[in-house]
Amino acid sequence: MTQTTARMNIVFLDGYTLNPGDMEWTLFERFGNFTAYDRTRPEDVLQRAREADILIVNKTRLTAEHFDQLSRLRLVCVAASGYDVVDIRAARSHGVPVCNAAGYGTESVAQLTMALLLEATSHVGEYAAANRAGMWSRSEDFCCWNEPLTELSGKTMGIVGFGHIGSAVARLAHAFGMHIVAHTSKSPNALPAYVVPASLDKLFAESHVVSLNCPLTAGNRAFVNAKLLAGCRPGLLLLNTARGGLIDDTAVADALRTGRLGAYCCDVLSEEPPRADHPLLAAPRCYVTPHVGWATLEARQRLIETIADNIRNFMDGHPTNVVNP
């Protein structure tokens, strides 16, 4: 825990994942009395936040009950693009603006999305591990493989959600020679010339690869379900670097076992950290990374700067990145 004294009380309830010790908090300390906790249990939120004028949270939930009791609170900054951890309606009813940090991790998350896709199609990590175990050394030929290798050029990628990250994924996939279709609320005129809009059913039916890059809402929770997957192209590669709650875990695990899905590649799960018997951890052809797409040093530094800008602009009377106007 770190602290300095000045004008305003700013409390970061779960700062460790953003800054495990390789960066400084000085941008926040300039604004006032700053306290950063590594982690905060739900039962400790009220006690730690009671004197805060400004709260910063990453994955710590703020509920209607919290807003009812935190009468001093003036601003909530979410250290993420998604803000589903905050009861937006309750914050609005108490006149507390909630600011997110959209865009800070765009390039890093898009990079990991393509890394997951390349692992599922080229199996670099799997072959490196197999060769350390002697596979190539035992081969009678100059080359050997035990997994199918897939060329991306000419394949179709469907992207669900076309915000900052979705558009970056499209740009990278297009550079690989892929055809891009997107399910988005944006008008066709707002899309790059190489992107074709499509309905959700059509996108899943025609794409070789689908990347989920949309926010999690009450209306789309578990929308990737058994019914949708029943109509997908057999062997579809499904990527999810958005939110674990977008998929039905059991339906995806079943689709992997039957071969309806060729692979599921994700950086997010419905439970984080997951329980040991989470259905996807033991599913075949399931590639899971531990929510690290956002965690490059460069992205985390941009995140700190964005949060600091949100605080500064709020104090100057013109808050930015407000998600509950």
Catalytic annotation, residues: 243, 272, 291
Least Cα distance to 323 among 89, 26, 100, 7 occurs for 100
What is the four-CA torsion angle of 58, 25, 95, 319, rounded to 10 degrees? -110
Task: Count CB atoms within 10 A of the CB of residue 10.
Answer: 25
DSSP state of 233: P
Q: What's at 303, amino acid-wise? A: L
Task: Count CB atoms within 10 A of the CB of residue 141.
Answer: 6
- DSSP lists the bridge partners of residue 247 as 224
Least Cα distance to 285 among 223, 236, 213 occurs for 236
